Structure 1
Amino acid sequence: MKKILFFAFGLLMSMMSFGQDQLTKDSVQTVLEGDSIGIGSQQFSKLEDATKAEGDSAYMKNDYASAIQIYEALLGKGEAAELYYNLGNSYYKADDIAKAILNYERALLLQPGNGDIRANLEIARSKTIDKVEPVPEIFFVSWTKSLINSMSVDSWAICGVVCFILLIVSLFFFIFSKQIVLKKTGFICGIIFLVVTVLANVFANQQKSELMNRNSAIVMNPSVTVRSTPSESGTSLFILHEGHKVDVKDSSMKDWKEIRLEDGKVGWVPASAIEII
């Protein structure tokens, strides 16, 4: 029984490690001091390595304009967290903070548990003008969000599948074993794996929902006046500057979007002033 449990635990850990998409440690390391930001060099099987290598080479030669063009061309073929990350680094080096933040945020959607992306995003955010204090959350809500964002949708899905298999194994021991110890062990493990399976599927669904329904945006204009109504004649409420992240509350209109800030303030801005993450 111990060997079976050890094997099951090892299978769970290996599958979770396989599913957790991380930028490799072979990349040039992110430097958190000053304005130095590293660039990932993980190979992407779905992309032409030679083309991506050209982008990496251009970045290392400080030819950020060329690197941006190459990474954006590659992203036209399909989304990839590493490319968004490298594109964000290129924009940061080119002093385009708004687009750097936009691409870091997109990378983080695909790899919410990646520490390098989150660290570089915080560096870029420190360069923005607006400092808004978010509405305090209950510790349980913050803890739950952190747990959900610790892995990607694929990782949670894999975790759910593995735990479901282990649940079946536990039920087998509980039903068919003649030894009391094995029955108790199978029952307890079955309860644990059932809970983890349910939570993993709920978390995977939450991650998928965030990927499919992108309701957050980044202010792209140097500054934009937030108004009380979707019109230039509306009352001016406050001003936001480039790089600030907002939630899109109402996107039903073509030319105007209603936004909400972290502190709960709401207002309308021109659709051209923001870009959806």
Structure 2
Amino acid sequence: MKSPLLICFSLLVAGLTPSVQAQQADVPVTQVTDTINTAVEDQPASSIDLLNAAEASYTNADYTTAATLYESLLTENGPDFHLYYNLGNTYYRLKDVAKAMLNYERALRLNPGDRDTRFNLEICQAKTIDKIEPLGTFLVTRWFHRLGDSMNSNGWALTSLLCFLLLIASLTAYFFSRRSWLKKSGFYVGIVSLILCILSLIYASKTYQAAVYPDQAIIMAPTVTVKSSPDQSGTDLFSLHEGTKVTITNEIGSWNEIELQDGNVGWVPATSMEVI
């Protein structure tokens, strides 16, 4: 019989192991009907009409109209994972990779663990001009970030609560049980539960901050020159193209200081990007 510590450790390792999804076609996965019907099913009739019209336009390959309708739905109903996902698919069909990436990123901000969205985003990233090589990171660091991307803040908050309840049960078994094996199990399970509870709280805070206060953006301009200072007279450092993902580190007037995954920094006009 496996010890409780070994079981908990196995579950943790399983969570750290990336899932694999086999895909054949070099096009985003489209789930227009099943996905968008759940997005606004409790909304007013006007939203349902817009949704039906958007679905019909997409089905009939009228992607320009579908994109306009999806944008209207987002304006009317606010951020929604399903609408962002379908809008990303629509812009991909329009061959607007930058806007497709923007909406896939916004969808992942609300549901980081969705594999279809992440797969579609990777397809779009392969089509961008700029190939930014991220700085090397330790394997444990990559696992840490990958695990954090598996759920949104609500999911991690619930996980933290469940781990806390398990911790209380383990402490109860440790302090009040008369059986030595139960005391020992309660002790080890309690330690693992405490670690997982703290880890879940960290992930919940991290994903919540990323969703509410986004600091990343997608370059939307076909080409933008990165400057050494927030003005046109600054030295030209390098150029970026649409679809490149950047992190905003500072804002001065109409200029944003950005940082790339490879560590390069510089200033670009705020109008050349859209915040995720």
Report the TM-score when normalising by structure 1.
0.84
Question: What is the aligned partner in structure 1 of residue 269 from structure 2?
Answer: 270
Aligned equivalents of 1:74, 1:52: Cα separation in 2: 7
Conservation of the 8 A alpha-carbon contact between 1:156 and 1:203 = yes
Deviation track 1:151-192 (CA, whole Å, cap 9, x = no partner) reads: 211111111111111222222222222222222222222222
Q: Secondary structure at the match of 1:187?
A: helix
Shift of 1:37: 4.0
AA matched with 1:81:
F
Alignment of 1:164-183 (within 5 A): 164-183=164-183
AA matched with 1:234:
G
Unaligned runs of 5+ in 2: 16-20
Aligned equivalents of 1:68, 1:123: Cα separation in 2: 20
Question: What is the aligned partner in structure 2 of residue 199 from structure 1?
Answer: 199
Aligned equivalents of 1:213, 1:32: Cα separation in 2: 36
Conservation of the 8 A alpha-carbon contact between 2:53 and 2:69 = yes
Conservation of the 8 A alpha-carbon contact between 1:32 and 1:119 = no
Question: What is the aligned partner in structure 1 of residue 241 from structure 2?
Answer: 241
Answer yes or no: is 1:33 the counterpart of 2:18.
no
Aligned equivalents of 2:172, 2:42: Cα separation in 1: 40
Q: Secondary structure at the match of 1:164?
A: helix
Shift of 1:56: 2.3
Question: What is the aligned partner in structure 1 of residue 72 from structure 2?
Answer: 73
Alignment of 1:1-277 (within 5 A): 32-35=24-27, 37-40=29-32, 41-42=34-35, 43-44=38-39, 45-47=41-43, 48-49=47-48, 51-76=50-75, 77-251=77-251, 253-277=252-276
Closer/same/farther in 2, CA of residues 246 and 62 from structure 1, 3 Å limit? same
Farther off after superposition, 242-251 or 179-188? 179-188
Aligned equivalents of 1:36, 1:116: Cα separation in 2: 8
Conservation of the 8 A alpha-carbon contact between 2:160 and 2:201 = yes
Aligned equivalents of 2:133, 2:184: Cα separation in 1: 50
Conservation of the 8 A alpha-carbon contact between 2:29 and 2:116 = no
AA matched with 2:56:
S
Report the TM-score when normalising by structure 2.
0.84
Conservation of the 8 A alpha-carbon contact between 1:237 and 1:267 = yes
Shift of 1:105: 0.6
Q: Secondary structure at the match of 2:209?
A: helix
Unaligned runs of 5+ in 1: 17-28
Shift of 1:249: 1.6
Closer/same/farther in 2, CA of residues 111 and 30 from structure 1, 3 Å limit? farther
Percent sequence identity over matched residues? 42
Conservation of the 8 A alpha-carbon contact between 2:27 and 2:120 = no
RMSD: 2.4
Question: What is the aligned partner in structure 2 of residue 23 from structure 1?
Answer: none
Conservation of the 8 A alpha-carbon contact between 1:159 and 1:197 = yes
